[in-house]
Chains A and B, each alone.
Chain A
Amino acid sequence: MACIARQNARLDRENPARGSGGSAPPNAVRIMFKRILLATHGTPGARRAEALAADWAHASGAALVVLSIFNEDWKHMTGDDWLNTSATRNIFGDYVMAQVNAEMDRLTGRLRTDFAGLNVRYLRASGSIARVLAETAAHERADVIIMGAYQKKQAPGFRARFENKHLHPLLPCPVVVAP
């Protein structure tokens, strides 16, 4: 709430003629959403997105859809293994999936506390991050996608840099990057 107010105040200062001709009170909440899609893995950058999404959901009464994506690049992580049987590789694949799910369970557990009082749904999907994000936003009819900003130092875990050039052509709604 405070965050949105700060943003609106800043925008009003920078451009007094914006919105309804500058006649609206400077601290009024003018951003109204019905559904917000939050993309998070619980990394430090994504935590800021979580805070912003919670802020906006509180302010606008929007439903929050929390999406965690299992990176499809994991499928390349058997690399040049050629010795193991398909059974061993399947065991490895199932194990990785279970580990990622356990990490997501921990994240969901924490968010249930943080987002108490909000209307939240938790989703998990696997595939290309950009494609899954865009498809989920379209499917959920999200008004906005909120995600974390690029971090110079990556958080521990699977190293995968998100690339805007892959997401932007697919976007069904605006994206907000939490600073």
Chain B
Amino acid sequence: MANSDVGRPSNIPLMTISGLLLLYGVFVMTGLFTPLLKSLHVHKQIDLMEVLCFTAAGLGFATALLRQARMNKPMTKRDIYVLETIPGILFIMLLAMGIRWFLEPVVGIVSVQLVPLLGFKIHKVLNLNYVVLGIIIGIIITNTWGIPKFAASGVKTARFVLKMGVILLGARYSFAELAKLGMVSVWMIGFFVLGTVFFVLFLGNIFRQPKSMTGVLSAGMGVCGVSATVACAPVVRARCSEMAYTIGTILGFGILCMFAFPTIGKIVGMNPTQFGAWAGTGILNSAQVAAACLAFNAVDIKTLKVGEIFNITRVLFLPVIVLVLASWYGRRNGAKLSFKEVVVDKFPIFILGFLLLFAMSSVGLFSPPGHYKGKYLDFSYNQRTEVTPEELTVLENAQQTGIPGLDASEEAAFADLIRQHQIAGDFNDRDNKEAFDATARKRMAGLESILARAKGREIVISGEVKSALTHAVKQVHKKSKTIVTLTDAMIWFFAYGLIGLGMQITRKSLAQAGGWPLVMGAISGVTKAALSFIVVMYFVRDVVLK
């Protein structure tokens, strides 16, 4: 089982990364970085920073020791699949932490500073949150310095981690949600996937293009981008140039959509269900769907939940489309493929994991009865319990114009919500849980009082302010601890996976876009995006998600 030792990358980068993580953890723990972190508004993540930094640094040093002991020895499977992947895993983790805790807030601050010059907040327009920044950083790294040699094995784990993210998301659905969203998604995806596949085949006929090219392009444009192209190319016996042009076209179109969709969705005022449905239908690559949904709203995972249901429905169509194309192509060319080759091998197994988590969650394995009934409150610092940036803007505007009739405690609660973006105690009391929670409860009571008085028409607040306050109160109603942990892990898995996936997008592969695949891909892609936009805007209603 031992491979020949082709030389392991040096341990120095791994030691450096581990050292940096350890040093950062120590600085955070001793409070040296607290003023800086406060100025970046990430000081509430201090506990998480310490846990992640010390754990990752420990893992890094332990791996470095083990690797050192194995230097100049033949590579075993354990070396290849475990030891040699850890440096890359830590490299992406370091990037993910840097992006979430430094780059994203810095981009936000710079963007605000540029408002007098540009007239708008550029990070809002381009949706430059940690997800989009992660993908951009991944693309920049791979196209400039290249993926460092020591990290090459670990970067390959991104695909697996993304699948883990989708599996964990399964725990966040209820039967009712899945039933409501599932019906809409099956109809929409069924129509648009099959519609696009047949539309591309039709275009190929009109433009007199080879069957192999139209076959591979139809799968890519109709189902799930490059993944479908990779799965279908051998089935339809595509030629090299056809595969290269198709993949280049799909990659380019997908990246364009990933940046354009969230901006367009916000401009036209889509709700999370509408955007999730549109992204899940119109964007080609399913990882890009997750990225666009998180770009549309990275704080609340509502959009992601909708987008992923559409995504999963679409992915389930992949074996069907491969089967259709195999019969379509095989009939013309006499090629015979087995059922296993065409369907079983192409079935995305991770969806079984998603369904398993959904089933476990549905039978109450993660959330015992009572957790969703407002019985428990969670005032801990957590991005999950924050209001959205849009809601924050609404609240800030309301504070500037003033809400007549508020008493002192209501005003204080309102002001603190704007300051902290969530209902919480005072930062200085964070180690004194009792005092922290008591202050938070008082603030929550203040906000509930505003809502109650508005309902009783004692005071007047706009519908948007009411919605933002209701959301803020709802956010602190505690979910099961397991569900919360799974959700936090899922968000990090997506961040990690998308950075790694960004590293797979090279300019050389994008440069392959061209020829008839580009023409036909542009026509079919734009048509699908436009038609699904119309359908979503007119026929998809908001679905209440927990």
Contacts and interface: CB of A to CB of B under 8 A. Distances in A.
Given A73-B508, A77-B247, A96-B240, A83 B286 contact: yes
Nearest to B240: A99
B231 interface: yes
A95 B237 CA distance: 9
A32 interface: no
Q: Count chain B CB atoms within 10 A of each CB in A85, A87, A89, A103 and give the residue with the most.
A: A85
Contact of B231 (A73, A88, A156): A88
A77 B239 CA distance: 14
Interface string B506-532: 101101101100000000000000000
Interface stretch (A115-123, A131-139, A157-165): A157-165
19 contacts: A76-B509, A77-B247, A78-B230, A79-B505, A80-B254, A82-B159, A82-B287, A88-B231, A92-B230, A95-B233, A95-B234, A96-B240, A103-B240, A156-B241, A157-B240, A157-B244, A159-B248, A159-B511, A159-B512
A104 to B, nearest CB: 11
Interface in B289-340: 315, 318
B162 interface: yes
Interface string A65-96: 00000000100111111111101110110011
Given A76-B506, A83-B315, 11 more contacts: A80-B226, A81-B504, A84-B227, A84-B346, A85-B345, A99-B240, A156-B515, A158-B244, A158-B512, A159-B512, A160-B508
A83 B225 CA distance: 10
A100 interface: yes
- In which size bucket is the chain A interface? 20 to 34
A78 B345 contact: no
Contacts of A156: 241, 515
A73 B227 contact: no
A82 B231 contact: no
Contacts of B274: none
Q: Count chain B CB atoms within 10 A of each CB in A84, A87, A100, A156 and give the residue with the most.
A: A84
B354 to A, nearest CB: 13
Contacts of B241: 156-158
A82 B291 CA distance: 13
A92 B163 contact: no
Contacts of A96: 233, 240, 243
